[in-house]
Structure 1
Amino acid sequence: MNMTTVTKSLSRLVLRTSVALPLVLAPAVSVTVLEAVGVSASFAQAEAQSEKKTRKTPAMRESAFKYLGKAQEAADAQNWPAALAALREMEAGKSKLNGYETAQMYYFYGFVYYSMEKYPQAISYYKKVLEQGEENLPVALEVGTLLTIAQLYFVTEDYKQAITYLNRWFKVADNVNADSYALRSQAYYQLGDNAKALSDINQAVSMYKKEGKVPKENWYGLQRFLYYDKNNYKQVADVLEELVKHYPKGEYYKQLAGMYGELKREDDMLHMMEAAYIAGALQKEKELLNMAYLFMGAEMPYKGAKVIDKGMSEKKIERTSKNLETLAQAYQMAQELQKSIPELEAAASLSDKGEIYSRLAGIYLDLDKNQQALDMGSKALKKGGIKREDQLFIVLGMANANLKKYDASLSNFKKALKDKRSEKFAKQWISFVETEKKREEQLAM
């Protein structure tokens, strides 16, 4: 998981609290911070109604309210130095503040430093809020501060401390939800505790599903990785099936095809790779050739040929001798011999060996195009590097015999005799050609 991605997502989504908690971490400072932290009577009533537990805390006095109001005005204008100056003025009279007022002051300090992106200082002041003790903190303020500190440690990549404060928050919060488990899962993952990370992300996914919601894409992504790390390909495939269903992307099709391959589900692998191909997810030469090989292996060679042909026309597959030969092979398997020949000839011309020309000679012989067979055979011998010259001489001998070039035919077959693998067949043809030659000579007399 890319740390930049994690940090960006946190900036947008994670660093926020529920309605019942202080909202000072909202990126925009359009909401009145004093109301958000519970100063106004209307918020206090809502807070009391939302909390399962309540505490009797000291009241906010008018003198303290004025200091915070001054800081609020500066914050609304995003004049952070002025906001800090107002808070320092308030802190200078700290001995006259009660515990609740002190906590609100430190919370505002934390908010200002967060807004200035000075996260270590923000964390320090949020901790000072907790130091005021339960007797001075409304439950919502304590719970919200714990979560805020955890989130800030996450942003500063201190995952150990993030987990410490998340675990404290889990114990006291009454609104732990799927996002909470997902956040802690990411922290465990960053620390390398994959077992706990998997447990938490599974809980997050399960909670969303029970609520009838589609789990977030990045949750599935983490879940998929953690199962893959355990070599649990069955579960990886299950997660990828969810991703394909809810977040259809070509990359997920490819990954799911790979998992089906690991699970020996060849038919499913082929169908998923084809889906990836249709979705335009296969763009690299290797991917496209693998798709073609899959079609050929599944006895759908014509589809394989079309993949290669299209890839070459789009310049995604290079027109090398090997690739052209594969294209020709696919056409041959599809009984499209006329389409295979031009590709084989192109492959032969690019090859530094005569092997493909030798194959072409055999194909032309089968098509009863004897002169073309001889031409291809001649090119094959000229290039050299033929694996079975004896077989090529057999083809040349048969082509010459068909053209009634008996002397040339006999010469070809005698060369084939030198290889024991063709000796018996060559002798039979020599006998046949000699007989035909005599018959032709007698007819000519």
Structure 2
Amino acid sequence: MKRSILYRLLTAALVCSSVATIPGMALAKQTDDAKPQPLYPNATRKEPKSDLTSQKDSKNLNDGLNAANEGDSAKATPLLQGILSDSKSKYAKALAQQGLANLDYKAGDLKGGISLLKESLDSDALPNEAYFQLEYELAQFYIADHQDQLGIDTVEKWRAEGKRETADSYALEGQAYYNLQKYPDAITAIKKAQSMTTTPNASWNSVLMASYNETGQSAQAGALAQQQLDAHPDDPQALQNAIAVYANAHQYPQAIDVLEKARAAGHLTDEKNYVMLAKLYLISGQESQDSKPYAVKSLAVLKDGEAKGIISDNAANNILTGDAAFLADDNATALSFYEKAAPQATTGEADIKAAQVLLVQEKFAAAKKYTQDGIAKGYSHTGNAYVMLAQAERGLKNSAGAIAAMKKAAQYPETADKANAWLKKQGAH
């Protein structure tokens, strides 16, 4: 299924991180003081007894796990590897594997971490508190590694055997269902997660909105996005979510309204949102009988962003500003931005657009040069560029040059018919 604009626009914050935090790793021993309540008192798994008797192993294991929790790989790795190599305790080895798995995760080696966690669990040597912690962690690793169905299966096994339900586990499952494009299941899981806590993670709404959107429930997505934005008007992610939802539903006036309110309140400080607002005005203009008023507004937004130092001086932004000016019938401004973009761009687009303005102004020599430059840079619509070159040559009274350009245009499917008809008319076919 083709992903919508919502999926494309919502950057990394669209969906909650699959492994936002790694649970604190179990240590070899715990004092009786302030001992926490068991998390899995009703687990169906029969809990094995610890076989850790060596004080040396216990110390090395605790030191290694503490170092791994702190991200000190240089200290943790030899201690934990030493446990795997030398200890006779299955319990110690299983916890050492967890520690090494977390180091693999932090180093970006998810598959290595998954292998270690599976070995640790398969040893069946850990008490329930540590065992189920590792099982949940394995689900997180699977989802972070895009093995989403395995992640879901592992979460459900964790619930069934551990007899424990948490809001986070349903949110994790919702993320995985979203990744698998099983959007109704994602909606069910996220709503379940939200119902289980008074302080749901704000990022869960992003998954829910995206899932609503993918199932055609744009009204629900829009209502949720607006609710989130109204509650947190200065939250960049809430703003981004609302923009994406409205844009995806082609509700451009609503998207523009959200952005303009943010701009008026001083919350529009991101370049991509300024550019988005300018583009939305141009899109709205294309769908209107009179595009000029929208182009004028688009140009004003771009100039405002440039004046505030928010919009960068680069080829894409300068071409966009030139386009807005051209549609607003401000040819002088359009030409200045196209000419500014021409040396910045490598595709020839800015050169060809500058040539178009120059042809309108009947500045044929300059139009010829920009057209030739655009062709040299590999402008994608080469046939059209040669038609423009022929127009410039005719303006310069260079019939031979015009015929040569049209013969080139005749070689491209997009302009072959037009070029051949002209050449026939000129008796030059």
Match in the other structure for 1:283: 275
Counterpart CA distance in 2 for 1:252 and 1:131 is 42
Q: CA deviation at 1:307?
A: 5.9
Higher CA-based Rg: 1
Cα distance in 2 for residues equivalent to 1:113 and 1:321: 57
Matches within 5 A, 1:30-429: 36-37=26-27, 39-42=29-32, 45-48=35-38, 51-53=40-42, 60=50, 63-73=53-63, 76=67, 78-91=75-88, 101-116=89-104, 117=107, 119-131=110-122, 133=124, 137-173=126-162, 175-208=164-197, 211=198, 213=199, 215-217=201-203, 219-245=204-230, 246=232, 247-248=235-236, 250-258=239-247, 262=251, 271-272=257-258, 274-275=260-261, 278=264, 279-280=267-268, 281-283=273-275, 285-289=278-282, 308-309=299-300, 311=302, 317-318=321-322, 320=325, 322-324=327-329, 351=360
Gaps of 5+ in 2: 1-6, 68-73, 307-317, 332-356, 363-394, 396-429
Separation in 1 of the partners of 2:11 and 2:262?
Answer: 28
Query: What is the rounded CA distance, in whole Å, between the counterparts of 1:14 and 1:187 in structure 2?
Result: 16
Counterpart of 1:189 in 2: which secondary structure? helix
Whole-angstrom CA distance in 2 between matches of 1:145 and 1:196:
25
* TM-score normalised according to structure 2 size: 0.54
Return closer, same or farther for 1:157/1:65 CA change in 2, 3 Å cut-off: farther
Cα contact 2:29–2:58 (8 A) shared by 1: no
Deviation string, structure 1 residues 425-444 (Cα, Å, up to 9, x no partner): xxxxxxxxxxxxxxxxxxxx
**Partner in structure 2 of residue 391 of structure 1:** none
Contact 1:150–1:163, Cα closer than 8 Å, also in 2: yes
Deviation at 1:240?
1.6
Q: Aligned residues: percent identity?
A: 17
Distance 1:307 1:154 in 2: 41
d(CA) in 2 for partners of 1:4, 1:351: 40
Alpha-carbon distance between aligned partners in 2 of 1:170 and 1:148, rounded to the nearest angstrom = 13
In structure 1, list runs of 5 or more residues that go unmatched: 17-22, 25-35, 92-100, 327-347, 354-382, 384-445
Coordinate RMSD, CA, aligned: 4.6
Alpha-carbon shift at residue 273 of structure 1 (Å)? 5.2
CA shift digits 1:371-396 (9 cap, x unpaired): xxxxxxxxxxxx9xxxxxxxxxxxxx
Name the SS of the counterpart of 1:283 in structure 2: helix
For residue 324 of structure 1, give the secondary structure of its aligned residue in structure 2: coil
Using the alignment, how far apart are the partners of 1:288 and 1:65 within structure 2?
70
Which has a greater percent of helix?
1
The verdict on how the C-alpha distance between 1:44 and 1:108 changes in structure 2, with shifts beyond 3 A counting, is farther
Letter in 2 for 1:181: Y
The count of corresponding residues between Structure 1 and Structure 2 is 295
Distance 2:250 2:148 in 1: 36
Task: Please say if residues 159 and 188 of structure 1, whose CA atoms lie closer than 8 Å, have aligned partners that are also in contact.
Answer: yes
Is 2:167–2:194's contact at 8 Å kept on the other side of the alignment? yes
Q: 1:106 Cα shift?
A: 1.6
Give the aligned residue type for 2:275: Q
- Specify whether residues 295 and 71 from structure 1 end up closer, same or farther in structure 2 by C-alpha distance, changes over 3 A only: same
